[in-house]
Amino acid sequence: MPEARTAAPLRTADGVPLKTALARAQRRAKWRAAGLVLPLLLFILASFVIPIGQMLFRSVSNDEFSSHMPHMVAWFAENGDAEPDDAAWEALVLDLRQAREDRTIGLIGTRVNYELSGTRSLFTSTARKAEDMEPPYREALLDADEDWADPELWGVMRRASSPYTDAFYLAAVDRTRDATGSVEMVDENRQVYVAIFWRTLVLSVTIALLCLLLGYPIAHLLATLPMRYSNLLMILVLLPFWTSLLVRTTSWMVLLQSQGVVNDVLVWIGIIGEDGRIQMMYNQAGTVIAMTHILLPFMILPLYSVMRTIPPSYARAARSLGATSWTTFRRIYLPQTVPGMGAGILLVFILAVGYYITPALVGGTTGTLISNLIAFHMQESHNWSLAAALAGILLAAVLLLYWLYDRLVGIDNMKLG
């Protein structure tokens, strides 16, 4: 009775409002449940949410220049994109001196060098001389190096003086800002990320589809074989799970390299000649073969768990109703395995998109994926901000895909096992 509820809240025999009494009665149980979940929540927070947040922060953080060049930051704040005046040149010299003393000049030079190549040594070498510079500073600086007059350099410094930047995201999609600040494509021979993102997408889809093609019959077999055979087969499927990823990848290298087992056998039985050895490793083929093998269980398990629940009577019913075995498969069996296929494809795809070790080992140059470039910027070039921006885009792409999947198939329809 809605009227009764609005007019006067129900009360217990003691006169306490019913809702209060209910909340009180359930409070203990709620606290206990929360207490049990708390450790996991904290763990996820510490090991997942915070690191990802830090990564995203780093992809837009721009403190190398802005926090070590205080006078320049102040000057840019006041004068915007005006021509550098005497105060600007003085600020520059003051900051260079301080940075040399603090040993932060390398950071500053590196940051500017990201956007304007060849300027790192300009900062480090000028800073060495800054100690002895005297006014007028403009002449002193230009005396040290003429490049200080370059308006493009001042444009980069202006952008670097703000604490946040989109420069790394722009770089991650092969774009940059010109001297006036408008976005343009980088030089054609330096464009790499968009192509690699695209390749990552295409290879991941290929791998997911290959896994589906290879995994579907196996999953079906698993789901329909008598228990003692299916258990054995299941162990074979799971065996790769228990073997080190590295071992599996290197075994593929042993098999597929041009002096490897497969080529040796082909030469031995005379299908190819000694100089006709097939290049199956250190290219896209290697990446696809090895990753398909490694990710196959992630396709088979969700498929299996769905197929196991489909009783054979459906197929029999369809056959008795006059359908050929192909029609039965297409119209009856296949549609019922869609949740498993969706889960498997999504799982394999998301894993493939972020895969690192296998393409690094067997991918050569044409089989490397975006994660290898992220690793390059983490380990070799030390441009962590760019690595974070690339990872951020990858994360966004996966979330977008997840959303699309939810819209098209429905996450509720996904069965993982």
Partner 1 sequence: MFLKKLLATSALVALGAAGAQAGEITVMSWGGAYTKSQVEAYQKPWMEATGNKVVSVDADNPATPIKPQVEAGNVTIDIADVEYSDAVRLCDEGLLEEIDASALPPAPDGTPAEEDFIDGALTDCAVANIVWSTIYAYDTTKFPDSPPTTMADFFDLEKFPGKRGMRKAAKANLEMALMADGVPAEEVYDLLETDEGVDRAFAKLDTIKDSVVWWEAGAQPPQLLADGEVVMTTAYNGRIFNAAVGEDKPFQIVWDGQIMDFDLFVIPKGAPNKELAMDFLKFSTGTKPLADQASWISYGPARKSSGALVGTFMDGKTEMAPHMPTAEANMGNALVNDFEFWADRDTELSERFNAWLASS
Partner 2 sequence: MANTSAQDAFVEFDHVQKSYDGETLVVKDLQLRIGKGEFLTMLGPSGSGKTTCLMMLAGFETATNGEIYLNRKPINNVAPHKRGIGMVFQNYALFPHMTVAENLAFPLQVRGLSKADQQAKVQRALDMVELSAMGGRRPAQLSGGQQQRVAVARALVFEPDLVLMDEPLGALDKQLREQMQYEIKHIHESLGVTVVYVTHDQSEALTMSDRIAVFNDGRIQQLSTPEALYERPENSFVAQFIGENNRIDGKIREIHGNACAVEIPGGLTVQATHVQGAGAGAPTTLSIRPERVLMSAGDQPVPGAIDGRIEELIYHGDHIRVRMSVAGNPNFVVKVTNRQGHQPLAEGSTVKVGWDPADCRALDPMSA
Nearer to partner 1, 194 or 404 (CB): 194
Of 364, 135, 404, 360, residue with least CA distance to 257:
364
282 binds partner 1 (CB under 8 A): yes
* Residue-wise DSSP of 267-290: HHTTSS-GGG----SSSHHHHHHH
- Residue 9 has a CB neighbour count (10 Å cut-off) of 11
416 CB-side CA count, 13 A: 5
- Residue 22 has a CB neighbour count (10 Å cut-off) of 12
258 binding partner (options partner 2, partner 1, none; Cβ < 5 to 8 Å by kind): partner 1
d(CA 202, CA 345): 13
CA dihedral 308, 311, 316, 317 (to 10 degrees): -140
226 binds partner 2 (CB under 8 A): no
Of 177, 173, 174, residue with least CA distance to 158:
177
114 binds partner 1 (CB under 8 A): yes
Nearer to partner 2, 230 or 413 (CB): 413
Smallest gap from residue 315 Cβ to partner 2 (A): 9
d(CA 278, CA 259): 9
Site string (279-318) toward partner 2, x via CB under 8 A = --------------------------------x-xx-xxx
Nearer to partner 1, 231 or 366 (CB): 366
Residue with tokens 């993982």: 416
* Residue-wise DSSP of 389-412: HHHHHHHHHHHHHHHHHHHHT-GG
Nearer to partner 1, 327 or 366 (CB): 366
147 binds partner 1 (CB under 8 A): no
* Tokens read off for 378: 């983490």
Binding residues among 327-356 for partner 2 as defined by CB under 8 A: 327-328, 331-332, 335-336
206 binds partner 1 (CB under 8 A): no
- Residue 55 has a CB neighbour count (10 Å cut-off) of 17
Task: Determine the angle formed by the axes of helices 370-379 and 193-224, rounding to 10 degrees.
Answer: 120
Q: Which of 77, 183, 195, 202 binds partner 1 (CB under 8 A)?
A: 195
d(CA 126, CA 148): 10
Site string (253-272) toward partner 1, x via CB under 8 A = ----xxx-------------
> What amino acid is encoded at 17 in this protein?
P
158 binding partner (options partner 1, partner 2, none; Cβ < 5 to 8 Å by kind): none
Smallest gap from residue 295 Cβ to partner 1 (A): 19
Largest CA distance in the chain: 99
Nearer to partner 2, 259 or 320 (CB): 320
Nearer to partner 1, 214 or 378 (CB): 378
Nearer to partner 1, 122 or 210 (CB): 122
Query: Applying CB under 8 A, which residues contact partner 1?
Result: 102-107, 109-110, 113-114, 117-121, 124, 187, 189-192, 195-196, 199, 246, 257-259, 282, 357, 360-361, 364-366, 368, 373, 376, 378-383
Query: Applying CB under 8 A, which residues contact partner 2?
Result: 311, 313-314, 316-325, 327-328, 331-332, 335-336
